[in-house]
Structure 1
C-alpha cells in the first residue's frame, strides 16, 4: 500500500526534475536556482502544502516550470487531513483562531483559500516579469497566455477537488456501512431481548405456577400425613419444590435483564452446593469431594457446570436406577476439574415413567464443550452407568 501511494509522488518528482533539466538554459542561473527550489518543495508538499506552493511561485514566474506549482496546487485542493499546518488547517476549514464560524462560512473559507491559490498561480503565470523577454501583447498571444494560465491553475485544482470528493464519498460510504452494521446488531439484540422476555413470561406463567401448587400441596400433606415416613417424604417434596422455585425465579430475573447489562448470567450454584446434592440423594450415594475446597479459586461457570452435571446425573439415577449404589467424584486433576458420577445396577424397579425430552445429557455435553472440556456418558460394563466430565480451569491457583 505504501509503494502504491508513493508511486505518484515519485513520478511527479521525476517529471519536475526532468522539466528543470530541460529548461535549465532558458532563464539564467537565478531561474535555475528557483526551479530547483520548487522541485525540492515537492518533497514537503504533503506536510506543508501552503509553504511548498509559495516556494514554487518564483520558479513559475522566472522560468518555464509547471509541474511543481501544479503539484502543490493539487495538494492544497485535495485537502488531505493532517497535511496542513495547524493555522493553515483552521483557515482551510474556515475556523478562526478564537472561535468557530457557521458551517456555510467554513465551506466558503475553504473555497476561498483554494480559489485564491489557483488565482495567484494563474496571475503569476500570466503576468510578465522584468527578468523575462519582452512580451508582445497581440490578441492571439494574449488569448493563448490567458488560456494557458487558466489551464495551469484550473486543471490541478479540479483534480484535487475531485480527489477530495472521492475521499469524502468513501468516508461517507464507510460510515453508512458501519451505521447499517450497528442497526443490524441492534435489531439482533432487540430480537434476543424479545425472545428472552417471552421465555421468562412463559416460565413464570406455567412452570412457576405448577411448582407453587406442588409446594403448597406438599406443605398441606406434611401437616396431615400420618406417620413419620409420609411426613418426611412430604417435607422433602416441599423443600425441593421451594428450591426449584428459587432457581426458576432467579433465571426469570436474569432473562428479563438487558443483554448488555454487566451481570454474570452464569451466576448460580457452585461447588459448595454439591455436598447437599449428595446428601439429598440418600444413603446409597457417597462422594469424594476434594475439589469442593477449590470453590473460591475456580471460575463461576466451571463451578456451575460441575454442579449441573452432578445434579442431572443423580436425577437420572433416581429416574432410571432407583436404589443403585452411586459414587460422586469431584477433584482437581492438573489444570482441569474432574467430575464423575458412577452408579451400579438399580436395586428397585423404576417408578412410573416421568416426562422427559431427552435433552439432559445433550445439555451437559454442551456445557462441557463450551468451556473447552470433554464429556462422556456411557455404560460402565457392570450394568451401571458412568458420567464423566473434564472441565479446564487454567493454571492451578489453589493447589491441593
Structure 2
C-alpha cells in the first residue's frame, strides 16, 4: 500500500527527531538509559495501530528524564483518536477499512481509545451500537483514558525515581519540574484533541454536503415528476381529444359512405386513429410513472410490428426482412433496439408518403453480427404531393438521437437517382449496454 506524503512526512520527522534526541543523550545515563530510549523511539513505528502499547514502551525512557519526543508522540496519537485517523488516510499499519456497504445510519468506527474500554469479545458492529446508545458514557470514558495517560506521563516525568541521580528539590526546582512535566503532557494532548475535533468537523461537513446533494437530486426529481405530469395532462386533454373526434367522425363516415373506396378510406382512418389513441395512452401512462418507481417500462412496438407498417404503406413498398423477423432471432435483441428500428421505419415511411407519394420504396432490416441494420430507400415521387401538413422538422433529428443514444450510427441523405435514403446501424451486443 502506498503511503501518502502528507501522512508519512510528519511521522518520519518525529522519528528523526526522537532518534536524534537518543543519539544526543546517549552518554547521559549509560547503556540502560540508551536501551530504553532506543526502545521508546522504535515504539513510534507502531503507535498508529497500538498507541497504548507504544505509550507504555516510552515510559521507562521518560522516567530517566532524558527523552521527550517519543512519549509526546505516543500521547498525541492517543488523544488524536488512534487508528481511525490513519485508516481514512491509507496508513499501512491500520486495520482494514469498514465496508462501504454498511447502512447509512451506521456510526463511524470506534477509536482505539474507546474500543480499548469495551468488554472483551465485543465486535465492531455491537460496539458501534453501544456507542450510539450511550454516547455520553463513552465520551467520558475516552476523556478518562486520555486524561489518565496525560497524568501518567506528567507523573513519570516529574516524580524523583530512586534510580535517578540525586537532585535538589527546593520550592523553585519543584515548581519548574511540575511546569515542565505539565507542558510535556498537556501540549501533545491538546494538539491531539484539536486534530480529533478537526477531523470530526470535516466528517460532519462531508455529511452535510452529501445531504445537500441528496436534497438537490430530490428537488430535481420532483421537478421532473411535475413536468411529466403536466405533459401527460396536456397530451391527454388536447391530442387525445382531437384524435378521438377523428375516430368518431371516420366511423360515422364509414357507416354512411356510398362507395367501397370511401368506406375503405374511412375505415383505415378509424383504425389509424384507434392505433394512435393506444400509443398515446401508453405514453401518458409512462409519463405518469414515478421517476424512481423501479417498474420496468414497456419499450413499445418492436420488430414484429414492421411487416404491418410495410403492408400499410401500399403496393409500392417492399420489405426485405430476412432473419431479423424470426421470433427466435428477434427475442435475442434488446427491446429498446427493436423499438428504435420500428420508429425509424415508421418515420421514414411517413416522410415518403408526405414528400414522395407513389415512390417505389424498399425496407431492409438485417441482423448482422453485433449490429442491426435498418434501411429505408425510396425512389422519385410518381405523383404530386398533397396539401402540406404541419411539421416541426424534428422527425429525422429524433431518429438520429435514438440511434446515437444506443451507440449506433444514423444516415439520412438524398440519393443520386432523386430518391432518399435513411439508414441506421444499431449495436445489439455489449456496446448497447455500455452506451
Whether the 8 Å CA contact 2:301–2:342 is kept in 1: the answer is yes
Taking structure 1 as reference, are residues 245 and 93 closer, same or farther at Cα in structure 2, changes over 3 Å only?
farther
Q: How many residues align?
A: 396
Q: Pick from 78, 88, 105: which aligns with 1:76?
A: 78
- Structure 1 distance, partners of 2:25, 2:141, is 37
User: Deviation digits for residues 169-199 of structure 1, max 9, x if unmatched?
Assistant: 2212222222222222222111111111111
Taking structure 1 as reference, are residues 387 and 200 closer, same or farther at Cα in structure 2, changes over 3 Å only?
same
1:296 matched to 2:331? The reply is: yes
Whether the 8 Å CA contact 1:75–1:160 is kept in 2: the answer is yes
- Report the CA distance between 1:347 and its aligned residue: 2.2
The answer to which of 41-50 and 217-226 deviates more is 217-226
> SS at the partner of 1:269?
coil
- Report the CA distance between 1:91 and its aligned residue: 3.3
- Report the CA distance between 1:35 and its aligned residue: 1.5
Residue 211 of structure 2 corresponds to 179
Whether the 8 Å CA contact 2:48–2:83 is kept in 1: the answer is no
Whether the 8 Å CA contact 2:62–2:157 is kept in 1: the answer is yes
Residue 20 of structure 2 corresponds to 18
- Report the CA distance between 1:2 and its aligned residue: 2.0
Q: Pick from 316, 319, 340: which aligns with 2:354?
A: 319
- Structure 2 distance, partners of 1:68, 1:180, is 43
- Structure 1 distance, partners of 2:187, 2:339, is 71
- Report the CA distance between 1:24 and its aligned residue: 2.0
RMSD over equivalenced CA pairs, Å: 2.3
Residue 250 of structure 2 corresponds to 218
- Report the CA distance between 1:215 and its aligned residue: 1.5
Residue 319 of structure 2 corresponds to 287
1:89 matched to 2:112? The reply is: yes
Q: Pick from 262, 267, 274: which aligns with 1:235?
A: 267
User: Deviation digits for residues 203-222 of structure 1, max 9, x if unmatched?
Assistant: 11111111111122222222
- Report the CA distance between 1:261 and its aligned residue: 2.7
Q: Extract unaligned runs of 5+ from structure 1.
A: none
Whether the 8 Å CA contact 1:94–1:108 is kept in 2: the answer is no
Q: Extract unaligned runs of 5+ from structure 2.
A: 87-93, 96-108, 123-129
- Structure 2 distance, partners of 1:49, 1:81, is 8
Taking structure 1 as reference, are residues 60 and 93 closer, same or farther at Cα in structure 2, changes over 3 Å only?
closer
- Structure 2 distance, partners of 1:70, 1:80, is 14
Q: Pick from 40, 43, 56: which aligns with 1:41?
A: 43
- Report the CA distance between 1:348 and its aligned residue: 2.1
1:381 matched to 2:416? The reply is: yes
Residue 54 of structure 2 corresponds to 52
Residue 220 of structure 2 corresponds to 188
Taking structure 1 as reference, are residues 49 and 261 closer, same or farther at Cα in structure 2, changes over 3 Å only?
same
Taking structure 1 as reference, are residues 93 and 193 closer, same or farther at Cα in structure 2, changes over 3 Å only?
farther
1:110-259 residue pairs with structure 2 within 5 A?
Answer: 110-259=142-291
User: Deviation digits for residues 84-134 of structure 1, max 9, x if unmatched?
Assistant: 999983736875567556222222221111111101100111101000122
1:328 matched to 2:363? The reply is: yes
- Report the CA distance between 1:3 and its aligned residue: 3.0
- Structure 2 distance, partners of 1:143, 1:95, is 38
Residue 399 of structure 2 corresponds to 364
TM value normalised by structure 2: 0.86
User: Deviation digits for residues 140-165 of structure 1, max 9, x if unmatched?
Assistant: 11111011000100111111111112
The answer to which of 379-388 and 204-213 deviates more is 379-388
TM value normalised by structure 1: 0.93
- Structure 2 distance, partners of 1:30, 1:41, is 17
